[in-house]
């Protein structure tokens, strides 16, 4: 009887762990990134751009994290992004579009080659 009870309890725990929902947001570790410092320093901005394009290794942990999450964030319209992350992405994207339009085109071609997410991302950038 004790073995049956233990087996039932173990099975219940396994089911609970397997059915636990995935994280609802990306890590908040970099939510306090000083995006204005990056935008105002063209060398730093270009380092992030080149990181996203895999043209150079990412110099920072936040760059690596951003590059890792970007494809999913783009596909899901940043549904797992915190408000801080949404603001960071909007500022970085708008600055890149304005200051480095050729690189922006490369980013779009790399992460959305078919243009499937262009309209939704444009709305996201506007805060819609």
Note the pLDDT tens digit of each residue in 20-33.
Answer: 344 688 889 889 99
Per the structure, the complete domain to which residue 80 belongs is given by 27-126
Q: Kindly state the tokens that stand for 93.
A: 């994207």
DSSP string, 67-114: HHHHHHHHHTTTTT--HHHHHHHHHHHHHHHHH-HHHHHHHHHHH-TT
Note the pLDDT tens digit of each residue in 31-70.
Answer: 999 999 999 999 999 999 999 999 999 999 999 999 999 8
In a domain, 63, yes or no: yes
Burial (CB < 10 A; 0-12, 13-18, 19+), residue 6, is exposed
CATH code of 46's domain: 1.10.2080.10
Q: Who has greater pLDDT, 115 or 7? A: 115
In a domain, 12, yes or no: no
Residue 99 to residues 3, 40, 92, 94, 125: CA-CA distances in angstroms?
Answer: 67, 11, 10, 9, 16
Give me the number of domains the chain comprises. 1
Burial (CB < 10 A; 0-12, 13-18, 19+), residue 80, is middle
């Amino acid at each position: 009887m004790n073995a049956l009870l233990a087996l039932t309890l173990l099975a219940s725990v396994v089911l609970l762990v397997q059915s636990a929902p995935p994280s609802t947001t990306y890590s908040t570790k970099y939510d306090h990134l000083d995006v204005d410092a990056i935008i105002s320093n063209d060398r730093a901005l270009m380092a992030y751009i080149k990181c996203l394009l895999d043209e150079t290794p990412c110099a920072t942990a936040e760059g690596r994290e951003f590059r890792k999450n970007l494809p999913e964030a783009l596909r899901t319209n940043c549904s797992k992004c915190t408000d801080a992350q949404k603001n960071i992405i909007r500022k970085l994207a708008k600055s890149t579009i304005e200051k480095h339009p050729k690189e922006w085109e490369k980013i779009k071609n790399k992460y959305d080659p078919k243009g499937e997410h262009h309209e939704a991302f444009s709305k996201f950038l506007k805060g819609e």
